[in-house]
Structures are given as structure tokens and as C-alpha cells.
Amino acid sequence: MPLVRIDVLGTDQKRLDALGRAVHEALGETMGFPPDDRFQVLTGHDGTSSTLRYDDYLGVHRDEGIVYVAITMRSGRSPERKRALYRRIAELAHEYAGIEPRNVFITLTENESIDWSFGDGLAQYAPED
């Protein structure tokens, strides 16, 4: 845990892998997740059969290099740690995949321990009494 979804317009497997690595490392550095805690959905969109839409909301000029990063994790992290996460993802996405930081759009969704099952139909973080 966490569950990460990364959507990129016009990319290849190497770039998707680099973005996955960037987000995973940033989560480890800023949130303390262990190295083997990786659950990711990496999706490239070709702009024809699937695409991404964006505008210049809040004065941030985005272009075809847009990357959407959606992270779901358990609640409880401070605003400072979340800000550090956003910064570090943008830095590493630029370093590893050449993504301009202005094109890194991140959303974080929090939930509770009971909201996770890692297999076998069990709520491993919230076992029955």
C-alpha cells in the first residue's frame, strides 16, 4: 500500500517505468513506505483511441507532456509530508523521465485500514476480532 495510477499521453514502456520508479522512490523518501510495497497501474494513452484532457487551470500551462498521478493510501500524513511528496515526485519525474514539473498533476486520496484487501479476501490491516 499505496496504490498508484499513472496516466501519460504519448509514451513508451521505458518512460512509464521511469515514472513508476520516480513515484515509488518519492513515496519511500517522504512517507516511509518500504521498497517492496509497490502497487502501480501504469497506462500510456496514444491520443487517438485513448487520451488525456487538460487546461491551464490556476495559471499552470500544461501541454502534451501531461502526467496524471493518482495515489490512494491510508490517512494520517501531515500536510508538510504531502507537500514534500508532491515536490519530490515532480523532481524525480523530471530527472528520470524528462517530464516538466508543470506537467505533473497529482491527486492523493486517503482511506482507512478496513478499505484494503491485499489478497485472499482478507482485510489484512483490519482483521476480525
Residues designated catalytic: 2
For 103-126, b/e burial (b = at least 16 CB within 10 A) is: bbbbeeeeeeeeebeeeeeeeeee
The H-assigned helical ranges of 64-127 are 79-97
CA angle 103, 67, 20 (to 5 degrees): 125
**CA nearest neighbour of 72 among 44, 100, 31:** 31
